[in-house]
Amino acid sequence: MSDFPQLRPAGVDVDTAAQTKQANPAGQATQRFGFLLVDRFALMSFASATEPLRAANLIAGADLYSVEILSAAAEMVRSSAGFAVPATDMARAAPGLHTVFVLAGGNPEDWKAARAAYPALRRLSREGVRLGGISSGSYLLAEAGLLNDRDFTIHWEHAPALKEAFPTLAPRPARFVIDRDRITCGGGIAPLDMMHALISDRMGPAFARRVSDWYLHTAIAEPEGPQRGSAVERHGTRHPALLVALETMERTLERPLPRTTIARTAGISIRHLDRLFSEELGAGFSETYRRLRLDQARKLLAQSPLSISEIAFATGFSSASHFTRQFKTAFGATPGQMRGDR
């Protein structure tokens, strides 16, 4: 079992620690946070989630939190950057965990090994342990049946795959979501915001602000903050009607809408719609819609366990063969070749 190192850098002076201990009554128990890491987990997400806990201990001069690294079975887990991290088998974790986060990267092939931990996660849930998912970790919680009847989020790249695999679940496009005993986060640097909220809930907003200041994290985002840049940045246009059209197209990749419907939604004529696509984007309506669908298909190939046929239908193609032809024309390789026929 790997406890989080308790460091005391010179930046925390005696007066600071003494002042903070007023908010940490004697006898306050250490909260044990477990992180179930899946091979090639996102290193940035891991650091963003664990570093605030370390800083809280440093500033408080007390062991408010401990961090324990867990795995589905392996003794070592590799990060996205290739670093090997020693871990304890989830099934052998000592009792008394307060919260367990599942943290995974973007390759569905790596997720398979995590399924060995599902029974342990379900047991922890029955025991009242708070469970969370970071980045694609939310997909694994969903697959384990642990997100039913819960609000939750997931990294935006994995949301379409989750919706296809679990039609009754609806992830929110939020940075993080706290719903009773479930805590989910989109990943990246969003865990900094999530941990600020968790530390604030336990230790108060003033203490949480000091933890965030430690990492120069001055612009703390709200839970409902966006995960992605604006449509203006994604598409390179500021025309309001065209942005409405493009955002409508992004929401309807599975069942593409006719030009007439898109024009009506944008509040313009079909002729005006076609002119905007040509002048603002340098591509026609149909070409742009097809590109959006194929780009989505490429993401699903890389980041979901869906079959090629399922991906074809999820991106609005009538058959796998039609999808394969269009995909090869766009990217120079068939879906199977790009995926490596895994």
What are the tens digits of pLDDT across the range 200-248? 999 999 999 999 998 888 888 888 776 666 667 677 888 989 989 998 9
Q: What is the pLDDT of residue 139?
A: 94
Alpha carbon separation from 22 to 10, 16, 66, 105, 259 (Å, rounded): 21, 10, 20, 39, 64
Q: What are the structural domain ranges in the chain?
A: 14-214, 231-339
- Chain length of the chain: 342
Burial class (CB in 10 A: 0-12, 13-18, 19+), 233: exposed
65-71: strand order across its sheet: 88-89, 65-71, 31-37, 99-104, 130-135, 182-185, 176-179
Backbone φ and ψ for 271, nearest 5 degrees, come out as -65, -45
Which CATH code of 1.10.240.10, 2.40.160.40, 3.40.50.880, 3.40.640.10 fits the domain covering 14-214? 3.40.50.880
Q: What angle do CA 336, 341, 342 make, to 5 degrees?
A: 135
Tell me what pLDDT residue 292 has. 93
Q: Is 138 within 8 Å of 105 (Cβ atoms)?
A: no
Domain 231-339: CATH superfamily is Homeodomain-like (1.10.10.60)
Same fold, 14-214 and 231-339: no
Q: Which residues of the chain have pLDDT under 50?
A: 1-26, 342
What number of other Cβ atoms are within 10 A of residue 225's Cβ? 15
**Of 132, 138, 36, 49, nearest in space to 77 by CA:** 36
What is the pTM assigned to this prediction?
Answer: 0.72
- How far apart CA 174 and CA 177 sit, in angstroms, is 7
> For residue 123, what pLDDT is reported?
94
